[in-house]
Structure 1
């Protein structure tokens, strides 16, 4: 992990488990169940829940809620499939709610 030493990361607020690197952050313009959220291209130390179809602000998706693998805190969701063509770029991306994470340097 030496190559990540200078890269800030986001950790679980509940247990301090590393979840995502700042360099994998794609957007700060998302909204989760508890408020503002970030989109990431990659996430680590998470467990994905059951796949389900969900109607969100921007359309219909197949998603899976994501949880911290250490403490089980629900963090957000992963886009598995977008049913609308203009939203396909979200597939495989992670939404993590800002209320659930902290930045660590």
Structure 2
């Protein structure tokens, strides 16, 4: 009988600090600064920077950069506010760039 492993999760590419669960992925169809990115409903062991308005392909958003709380690697950003009503589903969710995270327990 195979051993039961822990949950599938993602870790910081720099220090392997656990930052998100695979089950919290909302979408894999996002583009970040460095390529493909995932939209998560939750993240852990992160810190955030100051709020700022940024214009993305989908319009103007208020966001904060998201950092690994151990090594301070920039991992992505968190949507604070979406100005377009069609983008409101992003509010409170986190983008983690695929190039900045690694799979654990797969």
Unaligned runs of 5+ in 1: none
Q: Would you say 1:35 and 2:35 are equivalent positions? A: yes
Tell me the equivalent position of 2:59. 59
Tell me the equivalent position of 1:101. 101
Give the TM-score taking structure 1 as reference length: 0.94
> After superposition, what is the alpha-carbon deviation per residue over 1:20-74, rounded to whole angstroms, capped at 9, x for unaligned?
0000011110011111000000000000100000000111000000000000000
Unaligned runs of 5+ in 2: none
Work out the CA distance in 1 between the residues paired with 2:101 and 2:41.
16
Tell me the equivalent position of 1:48. 48
Task: Compare CA radii of gyration and give the structure with the larger one.
Answer: 2
Secondary structure at 2:44's aligned position in 1?
A: coil
Give the TM-score taking structure 2 as reference length: 0.93
Across the aligned residues of Structure 1 and Structure 2, the Cα RMSD in angstroms comes to 0.8
Moved over 3 A (4+): none
Alpha-carbon distance, 1:6 to partner = 3.1
Aligned residues: 101
